[in-house]
Amino acid sequence: MFELTSKVAIITGGGSGIGKAIAELFAKHGAQVHILELNEASAAATVDAIKANGARAWGYSCNVSDHQQTASVIGGIIGIAGRLDILVNSAGIAHVGKLENTGPQDFEKIVNVNVKGVYNVMHACIQQFKKQQGGVILNICSVAASVGIPDRFAYSMSKGAVLSMTLSVAKDYIRDKIRCNAISPARIHTAFVDGFLKTNYPGKEQEMFEKLSQTQPMGRMGTPDEVAALALYLCSDEASFITGSDYPIDGGFLKLNT
């Protein structure tokens, strides 16, 4: 089950965190993994780790907020591979702030990466999926798209847009046999979390880590590998009857918090 043998997968943000875990797991299950990353060194590190395990992967320097560059990189991948089976939009950035302390530059940066970036990548892939009459799109969303998260105004806005785009694409292309779903994690323990705590709470990292962990009813953060396992299922043939759905992976955050 869940084999992706010979399937061609594009994963944005595959150089770190959730995207890296997805890229490594998909490659382990047989996919030809193509990683799009702003940080070329991060992409190369993931590619090297995948190849070291005998699987196939390629890395590309790409700013997903640049429409022309994104189209060019993805067009090149499709031209060489000859097809495209899976797209995972994992690239994204965070922002801490309420409306009043979210400046125009902050807002625009979030929109460019988290909203326009997802649009650019899907736009570059959709014609190939239509040509093949099939394909899978998975967008990494967030619980912030569905509930109010303190001090996450711009980030929540961007993930709400990702969720809406997911539903729209699923509806518009269902007759083309293109499935489009989203995953909405709560807090996931990545290097970003550690960096955030070190920058904002020096000397109190462990205390704040525990506090953030307890916001999930399970009492801990999730792991990138747990998100990757869900992504593997949703992008596999075993999930062929699933489209237009958002899957929280949140330790009970959305339903069990009181």
Active site residues: 155
3 state DSSP class of 185: strand
3 state DSSP class of 8: strand
- Taking a C-beta distance cutoff of 8 angstroms, is the pair 257, 196 a contact? no
| H or E element at residue 211 | helix 205-213
Residue 229 CA, chain-centre distance (Å), reads 13
Cα atoms in the Cβ-side hemisphere of radius 13 Å centred on 7: 25
Structure tokens at 47: 């590619």
- Taking a C-beta distance cutoff of 8 angstroms, is the pair 121, 68 a contact? no
3 state DSSP class of 53: coil
Q: How far is CA 58 from CA 7, 37, 40, in A?
A: 14, 11, 11
- Taking a C-beta distance cutoff of 8 angstroms, is the pair 9, 33 a contact? yes
DSSP string, 159-174: HHHHHHHHHHHHHHTG
d(CA 22, CA 31): 11
| H or E element at residue 180 | strand 178-185
